[in-house]
Structure 1
Amino acid sequence: PANPADWKYTEIMTLAFGTGPIMVSPIGLAQAYCCLANGGIRKQPRIVDGYIGNRDGKFYSDPVASGERVVSQEVADSVRHMLRDVVESENSQAKSEWYDVGGKTGTALKWKVDHYSKDHRLLSFAGVAPIDEPKLVAVVMIDEPTGVKYGNQAAAPVFRRIVEDTLAYLHVRPDRVPEQTPTPALTLPVEEEEPMMARAEPEDPVLPPHQEESTAIPPAPTASEGRGLLSLLDRVAQRLGDEDESPDGRLDR
């Protein structure tokens, strides 16, 4: 019922932990978590930060409303840290190695004709990060996933990935840096070595006279030797040109 005065006593108890006859959209749920991130202040959600004028092409920011206080700063901080304790549990798939995050899973049965069906579920996770200085609120909802039944299985890992990627994109300093897991050393089986047979060391090879090693630098050719070498190269080049020339005076390529 819209009027809290019409709520049943059992509905009040079940609504306190997020179950019972309650309907909420992802935007509405995100707005509630934004109250915790903003220290208890509720603000109107916006899709854009501003707009660009058609005539002048200038950017005009959309003024942000001051909002209204719905819970005290102390309550908002306390609930936010409670949500962190939920994520810090060992089996939470929303836990990040880089940032302190807080949030809660949602596992809702969908209404089918005249009953709630256990085979048709809406799994979700809503949270805020980082806890001490919030920069991001995210809500993940997965409709009727296959193979999983709980929000911690389907939605929480997606939330963690969104938080880590978005905060890194916004250059938000991590709360911690995970330790690098050392690579295990590769252990190879030790093979028994065969006993080595005694063998004679090879003798130094005997080189022919023209292959004898020498560290002496050969002398530079004289001027007359250089002119003779150039003349020889010219004659060789002329001879090769005469052989390549075809009978009709053209060169064969």
Structure 2
Amino acid sequence: MKTRTQIVVLCVMVGFLAVSLRLMNIQFLNRSLYQTASLKEHQRFLQIHGERGTILDRQDHFLVSNQEVPSLVADPILFRTRLSPKNVSARLSPILKVSRAKLEHLLRKHSHFVWIRHGLTKGQAEWIRSHPFPGLFLTAEEKRFYPEGLSSHSVLGSTGTDNSGVSGLEKRYDGFLSGRRGGRILEVSARGRSYFSRDQVSPKGLQGDTVYTTLDGRIQRYAQNTLDEQVSAFDAEGGVVLVMDPWSGAILAMATNNRRMGGGVNPATSMVYEPGSVFKLVTASAALNEHRVTTEERFDGHNGVFYIPGGALHDDEPSQSLTLAQILAKSSNIGISQVALRVGPSLFYKYIQSFGFGQKTGLDFPGESAGIVHPPSRWSHRSIYSLAMGQEVGVTPLQIVTAVSAIANGGHLMQPYLVRKITDAEGHTIFRRKPRLVRRVITAETSRTLLDLMRNVVAPGGTGVKATIDGYDIAGKTGTAQVYDPSKHAYTRKQTIDSFVGVLPADHPSLVILAVVVKPRKISWGGTVAAPLFRKVAEMALVRFRIPSEKQPERKDHSSVDRVVDRRVGSDISENIK
């Protein structure tokens, strides 16, 4: 009996020792191994991105913000231990609007994490909550939201399924807007159902930066709607409206329509076209600045027909003689070609380059084109006549509005920009844009003279009379560019690109507005299609920015280089232009 008792006691002690050794092995020697195994059973790691940064307008109103939407993810390995991918796919397919084959493929992957469906509707999310499946989890994702509608979409751009920027400002400033990477831990039950989650880092710590633009939300929306109406009314291929502060280069509105021009491009920055008569302002600027012409002298109108190498130039309104003011007002091809001859090829080419044509403006926006400008060595005997009236040169709308802004502000070519500052999640400013002077193009005297001449374009008898605004003096120029037909090796009147660019008010420029309508189906001119579009946008802008019709006595003369950016127009930058 005693021996048996000793044997039992010994066995118990050996068992106790074995258990103790096993516990020691689990708790101390292989603690991390078993801890990891336990976490794998009860936790799922979900990689997340912090909330993408927002984009604001010049009044700090949201142009782009975020909304949380539910999405569906899965742990296929856990899922297959309890359910059949084939059966569940058949049930989920009509609910999620995803094919059974695709769902089954995702649920058979050898992974602990896959995305099943991004951006569930409210009804889909409610169905998943009421029909839980082991290994399927709902998680929150962010989706871009546009409080002002889609009027700024062509500027703001878009994001991909991974929420990274793929176009527009979303792409250009993706490094700032993108949220930082972090992790979310899902606590799951033995049946694989999620009942708790926690973030490894505070969501605010992962948040992207805030981008403040120069765009005015109201003007942008009005310009876009008005442009869309005009394009539709004339059955055009597209169009552009640009509003710029000439003193700083800040873009206040950039509306585009490319309904038949091909997707994926922004016509304001990437459309290269021959500008037509708007380019006569460059020709006149060069001649006046070099004192090759005066405002009093008269040029031979040749009664509407002027023979040049390789053909003849024609004016729609024949004249015997014209002053420079009449050349611009009547948009005379014959007159402006004689002005260009006074300048000469080399000097004319220098001014074309100086105004920024043939090179990118440096706008903080992806996809900008440099345009096309050939050096004089590649010019034919006819080229100087063609260039004088805006042919044989490829420009973008952005280059035109930037060049005319130099005429408006006293001769300074400013670099255009769309973003004025960026702040981090704590509100600290990490980037601030200052107006950048590229170069002086013409003198202040030339600027004043040319602005006075441009008033005649909008006066009775001028080609831009439909741009007139009661109570305000407008300095402008029309453009009707015939499109070159390669098959016929000639320009066709059946297709045109119509434009109007205006400076307002003319005696104290505060805004430069460009309106372009691309290939309207009906026979048209810049003065009949683009000028009315300009007027509608300009009227709204004058009211929006409270711009007076008369020059205010406290304003500095615009010949000063150290001009403070006009706050009334809407620039948030207070530094002087130096």
When normalised by structure 2's length, the TM-score is 0.29
> 2:145 — aligned with what?
none
Matched, 1:52 2:52: no
> 1:205 — aligned with what?
none
SS in 1 for 2:535: helix
Q: CA offsets per residue over residues 180-231 of structure 1, 9 Å max, x none?
A: xxxxxxxxxxxxxxxxxxxxxxxxxxxxxxxxxxxxxxxxxxxxxxxxxxxx
Selected match of 1:42 from 413, 425, 435: 413
Matched, 1:84 2:459: no
Higher strand share: 2
Pairwise CA distance, 1:138: 1.0
Selected match of 1:12 from 355, 378, 384: 384
> 2:124 — aligned with what?
none
Runs of 4+ residues over 3 Å off in structure 1: 58-61
CA contact (8 A) 2:495 2:521 kept: no
Matched, 1:112 2:482: no
CA contact (8 A) 2:494 2:523 kept: no
Q: CA offsets per residue over residues 119-141 of structure 1, 9 Å max, x none?
A: 12111111211111101111111
> 2:468 — aligned with what?
95
Pairwise CA distance, 1:58: 4.2
Q: Which runs of 5+ in 2 are unaligned?
A: 1-372, 552-578
Please give the residue correspondences for 1:184-199 in structure 2 after superposition, counting only pairs within 5 Å.
Answer: none
Larger Rg: 1
Report the AA paired with residue 15 of structure 1: L
Matched, 1:153 2:528: yes
Pairwise CA distance, 1:105: 0.9
Q: Which runs of 5+ in 1 are unaligned?
A: 177-253
Matched, 1:134 2:509: yes
Selected match of 2:400 from 19, 29, 34: 29
Distance 1:58 1:90 in 2: 55
Report the AA paired with residue 145 of structure 1: P
Flag the 1:13–1:112 CA change in 2: closer, same or farther, 3 A. closer
Distance 1:108 1:3 in 2: 22
> 1:171 — aligned with what?
546
Aligned length: 174
SS in 1 for 2:507: coil
CA contact (8 A) 1:98 1:164 kept: no
CA contact (8 A) 2:414 2:439 kept: yes
Distance 1:156 1:90 in 2: 14
> 2:76 — aligned with what?
none
Report the AA paired with residue 153 of structure 1: T
Matched, 1:122 2:493: no
SS in 1 for 2:467: coil
Report the AA paired with residue 408 of structure 2: A
Pairwise CA distance, 1:66: 3.0
SS in 2 for 1:155: helix
Report the AA paired with residue 474 of structure 2: V
SS in 2 for 1:12: helix
CA contact (8 A) 2:374 2:393 kept: no
Distance 2:376 2:443 in 1: 21
When normalised by structure 1's length, the TM-score is 0.63
> 2:438 — aligned with what?
67
Give me the CA root mean square deviation: 2.0
Pairwise CA distance, 1:156: 0.3
Higher helix share: 2
Q: CA offsets per residue over residues 91-115 of structure 1, 9 Å max, x none?
A: 6111111211111111112233334
> 2:375 — aligned with what?
3
Q: CA offsets per residue over residues 127-158 of structure 1, 9 Å max, x none?
A: 21111110111111101223342111100011
Give the share of equivalent positions with the same residue, in percent. 29
Pairwise CA distance, 1:64: 1.2
CA contact (8 A) 1:99 1:164 kept: no
